[in-house]
Amino acid sequence: MTRLIIWRHGNTDWNAAGRVQGQTDVPLNDLGRSQAATAARLIAGLEPSAIYSSDLLRARHTADALATLVKLPVTEDPRLRERHYGLFQGLTDPEIAEAHPEAFARWRGGDPDVGAEVERNDDVGKRVGESLREIAERHPGEVVVVATHGGAARQGFGDVLGWPSDVMSAIRPLQNCHWTELVDTPNRGWQLRAHNVGPWPEKAIPAPV
């Protein structure tokens, strides 16, 4: 049985300020580094055999916290980057609502085609899902950790499971340094085994942006 641990990065200053990050390369803050170190100790107990990461700093540094413990290299894949949020990147919700009211309403309403140069959810799912499937094919029967981002993780695992992108809006996004587990079994194929798993009660972590 192949297991994919799809792990969201730790907290950043933009998370704390409620700013949309997208593919802006924002590093972890002190809280994020602490979260990564704590979560890494739990994930190390799963005995992963490989670690992959988005090439954005917040994901890569999260992956590095685990790599240090389990003495494994980290392989970067830019397909694991967060959704590109176009004109929303760097803005807070009130700023987006003022500058792009129609696109903001579509986004918050779960429309997969937001406009405002925001990457379509279908496209996010396809690129992340492609990466996840290729990773699994390289490591059959192993536990593999993939450090990525909230939106990318959700759309990516939905693509692997064959779920339409609009269905994924009903799945709560990952909290900082929480993870989703997918398993590939010989008889049943890909299944969702766990979601939003992490070392803290969910209420203790700010909602992702």
pTM reported for the whole predicted model: 0.93
What CATH number does residue 59 fall under?
3.40.50.1240
For residues 164 and 22, is the Cβ–Cβ distance under 8 A?
no
Residue 90 lies in a domain: no
Residue 104 lies in a domain: no
Task: Of 110-119, 166-175, 176-185, 196-205, give the lowest mean pLDDT range.
Answer: 196-205
Would residue 195 show up in a list of annotated catalytic residues for this protein?
no
Residue 106 lies in a domain: no
For residues 171 and 194, is the Cβ–Cβ distance under 8 A?
no
Provide the pLDDT for residue 200. Answer: 75
For residues 81 and 56, is the Cβ–Cβ distance under 8 A?
yes
Asked whether residue 14 is marked as a ligand-binding residue, the answer is yes
Residue 102 lies in a domain: no
Residue 107 lies in a domain: no
Q: Phi then psi for 72, rounded to 5 degrees?
A: -120, 150
Residue 92 lies in a domain: no
| Number of domains, the chain | 1
Q: In which band, very low, low, confident or very high, does the pLDDT at 201 lie, cut at 50, 70 and 90? A: low
Residue 6 pLDDT > 60: yes
145: domain range?
Answer: 2-84+119-200
- Which one of 47, 61, 76, 82 is the catalytic residue? 82
Asked whether residue 176 is marked as a ligand-binding residue, the answer is no
Q: What mean pLDDT is reported for the chain?
A: 94
- pLDDT tens digits, one per residue of 102-134: 999 999 988 888 999 999 999 999 999 999 999
36: phi > 0 → left, psi -120 to 50 → alpha, else beta; which? alpha
